[in-house]
Structure 1
């Protein structure tokens, strides 16, 4: 009894609170009060916010609201006058950076609550209140500023004064840190990031992480400076990593000062799910963290994000330019899967690919059988040889976030039909695993059904119609004129297939079934409605099932989706942009259409701009047509570069603005694909516990390594130094 009592009175050791980087939120209106952080990590939180700096979204379209008799808003010029000033996009309110981090508890409350918790938003009296908040020498604000300066000035600490007596220690420390930096640079460029990650984990993980973070932060800072106040679009892709976390890669697309279209990797963000609300929350936080204004955003491109998320985000971000979606091939599959029979078909296709490609032995058998089939047909004269024909191939695995893979998978399944069936027969007869033998038997039965063959032909048909359009829109420097023509063509061909293509299509399917000894049902016979029990008595004819429930239903769904993605407004936008095409001496130039383009981008052209643009376009087209320097321009990118090269962007600023807006239209490119390739290199099965922040930092360094290599080492080392209160501090190196 007494021992129990004594044990209960023993004080329990308080567990240490770990710092969580996700607690650092750029928007001051969403930040947790500094006093709510555990005292053990409070200084680290302050250091993180000091590294980030005050939230000052330059270029943001500050909302106007009624205050008194006038409409008023926050003024960007206030950032220049008050360096401590922060602005919350979420709350449309102003805050004090110094008072948030080091607020004083005595005196008046003006600098404590209004500028740290509730936010200040009375713009009519802003200058007066801001000045009053700063106050005199001993005001709360100035005391907080001095605390902040003392906190940053670690060179005045006792530990540093002690160590600074030994100059040799400082030199040796600089040499060690510099060497670590060059090791990082060496592995990024020569040996690859994988070995570097393993080495840092083995030796000095904390130092390694901080050094990578310093490199990433300075690289990102250069990217943000490169964007400046330009308009930009974002390209998004989502995929899960090796630890099955949903990650969202963010690429920014903009036109630089030389007129070149630039795409930069900005970050990879962990998201709880891929719903529109989650993606929007992640983007809001990202924009606030890097000081990017959402009002400068002029488009969004999605590369594999969920269809629901895409459509909802388009509604959440209401901008003048309609979005140009480019993942048409995946859209076809995604929309068609809304029909049960189509969804069922793709499930079986995935199983077939997985079973046939489960081992090297099976893949080799498939290749050999296909080779034998080709040789046999060549000997019979059924096919002919030639350069590039009948190359060795294999089944492709369809990817949910990779364009063209579904089309490729179905084409190869079609061409290797007999060989695939023979491999499945081998698995069924000779397989060692009973479960795989059962699955292979079921897949053979499914492949030799009329419905499977019917849907295979239908999906090859519709994917083939949209494949060229998908490829055209995926090019980084896509030809808008060509894309515009393809959009119209695809819509017309889809409608023609619906109205006139059924008879020819059905005969193609029947011919294939006869050749492969697959029974063809009588179209007048009845079957149960899919999803209903036979006891219910709901019957339809085979003709109705295949023609109405599959053939017509698929085409109608895709036509509706095409009309939604390329609506009248979107189509008009592309037609207008096509008028900027410089080829053939600007033969497509249309004055009225380009004036209309400026009206579509209403936020970027004022009423006076519209009047000026009308005359500027006339002068512009006359000037560039007679100027031989522009005769070799073959697309909008080369036109923009030439205009900057010869200062025409200053002579015709409104025309150049139209070209710039056209160039940043979001398209799906390989940039987002490279981001996830890098993630797969960094975060493998053996290193699947890498934290989100470290993963992001390494990806920035790896993907943007050319830009990273140009940053002066002293800048990176100084950033590294500022992350911790280190025993030895490096002074900035003198020139």
Structure 2
């Protein structure tokens, strides 16, 4: 199309060449310019017609109305003029849509500059005042770490959320802003929509990170990485940037919160590489990396069905027994009654700090060490928890769940897995507590890691008998059947016919 020279005033007086078609000679006609006004163009060089509008706004939706004949190749079959009508098509054809787009392009009244110039200087100044109010409000809320919106921002409510309430307060203190804000703003120019709030927040984030990267310069830095699920159960990775600025002060700042498909090491690595590329950070200047590892721990646990089931059932117990105030009071009553009887019989002694009430500890998803406290509390309160669950099976809304939990918790498998995880988590918990010490050095930290690995290996190689004795004593104390370990093991779901005696 670039080689086609189209000159409308020239072609008006041009003598169009004739081409022979059968016994007749045909040529382009001047009258067609008037008949197909606005869009029809003629190329003297190619002796062909084109559609200017279709060339400018041809949709990428396949061929219609003659395909590219009116765009690239040109149309020159003067005998078949019905192709002109076919190209134009119906009211909503691609050609007519292109004509409308071309008319809008040429209409000066629709130009952005024309619309902007219509606004008076006072309107533009009022708009700036409104925008400044929304920006100042956003800056304050971001500095204080406060939420912008409430779940309901209806006009009749006393509290419509921090953003709107702060804007109203600003209007009361600032006469200049009061005259143009919210209800006094023209039309929809209130600048309070959630999308506008997000745009302002994103602008702050971009400027803040740009300032941090500029302050870092070519210096060395380290990163701290943590992973967690958000409210919609999407995996999120948080990256903290840590460096020493030009004044010699240690700076820690949030660099990014990004979504990752999962929290395995490879996914985290890809996310970090993407972030480094985005902010032009060189990995050669990276001098330290810190990872929580909680999510990787969750992944390892989920690879074993029995352990995954254990923690799933424990969470159910916490929700039913340890989270409901009524059920929690029932647990405390049974515990207090048993302690009282033991004291009266002389089985327990009294004194300061002895026989205090304990409760089921709720694990935290992002703190794996909390699972150790949950397992310990469940072992200590096992008999009381079973009693509460048995009471709930008789008459409660949770009787089905309570019955299933009683069946599962009074099995040897549950007792075994519970005590095994207690021993494993006990080792990792001690390591975690030791590494949290502020005066910890890297050499001592590495020695603690090696020590924990040796202890875990010792349990794996030589800890079976001790674990089995511990579990057996627990089961006997709580009337849980202990299987005969000398019998042949039959995997669940397999026929016993082929088992060797």
Considering the TM-score relative to the shorter chain, is it more than 0.5? yes
* Aligned mate of 1:251, from 240, 244, 247: 240
Q: Match of 2:388?
A: 423
Alignment of 1:268-347 (within 5 A): 268-274=257-263, 278-304=267-293, 306-307=295-296, 330=297, 335=300, 338-347=303-312
Aligned-CA RMSD value: 3.8
Q: Match of 1:369?
A: 334
Q: Distance in 2 between matches of 1:337 and 1:408?
A: 20
Change beyond 3 A, Cα 1:415–1:285: same
Q: Distance in 1 between matches of 2:458 and 2:272?
A: 42
Q: Which has the higher helix share?
A: 1
* Aligned mate of 2:367, from 396, 402, 411: 402
* SS of the residue 2:202 aligns to: helix
Q: Is residue 2:343 matched to residue 1:354? A: no
* SS of the residue 1:242 aligns to: coil
Number of equivalences = 363
Q: Is residue 2:188 matched to residue 1:222? A: no
* SS of the residue 1:386 aligns to: coil
Q: Is residue 2:403 matched to residue 1:441? A: yes
* Aligned mate of 1:180, from 108, 116, 134: 134
Change beyond 3 A, Cα 1:480–1:220: same
Greater relative contact order, per chain length (Cα 8 Å cut-off, separation 6+): 1
Q: Distance in 2 between matches of 1:277 and 1:493?
A: 28
The TM-score normalised by the length of structure 1 is: 0.43
Q: Is residue 2:426 matched to residue 1:471? A: no
Q: Distance in 2 between matches of 1:277 and 1:241?
A: 20
Q: Match of 1:649?
A: none
Q: Distance in 2 between matches of 1:216 and 1:361?
A: 46
Contact 2:318 2:360 in 1 (8 A): no
Change beyond 3 A, Cα 1:161–1:345: closer
Q: Distance in 1 between matches of 2:350 and 2:484?
A: 36
The TM-score normalised by the length of structure 2 is: 0.61
Change beyond 3 A, Cα 1:228–1:371: farther
Q: Distance in 2 between matches of 1:12 and 1:385?
A: 92
Q: Match of 1:510?
A: 472
Q: Distance in 1 between matches of 2:457 and 2:264?
A: 33
* SS of the residue 1:253 aligns to: strand
* SS of the residue 1:431 aligns to: coil
Deviation of 1:444 after TM superposition, in Å, equals: 1.2
Q: Distance in 2 between matches of 1:406 and 1:393?
A: 14
* SS of the residue 2:367 aligns to: coil
Q: Match of 1:626?
A: none
Deviation of 1:381 after TM superposition, in Å, equals: 4.7
Q: Distance in 1 between matches of 2:434 and 2:250?
A: 17
Change beyond 3 A, Cα 1:482–1:204: same
Deviation of 1:476 after TM superposition, in Å, equals: 6.8
Alignment of 1:633-672 (within 5 A): none
Q: Match of 1:11?
A: 92
Change beyond 3 A, Cα 1:279–1:497: closer
Q: Match of 1:240?
A: 229
Alignment of 1:646-725 (within 5 A): none
Deviation of 1:428 after TM superposition, in Å, equals: 0.9
Deviation of 1:469 after TM superposition, in Å, equals: 0.8
Unaligned runs of 5+ residues in structure 2 are 1-85, 96-111, 154-160, 165-190
Change beyond 3 A, Cα 1:253–1:385: farther
Q: Distance in 1 between matches of 2:473 and 2:237?
A: 46
Q: Match of 1:725?
A: none
* SS of the residue 1:192 aligns to: coil
Q: Distance in 2 between matches of 1:449 and 1:241?
A: 35
Q: Distance in 2 between matches of 1:224 and 1:160?
A: 36
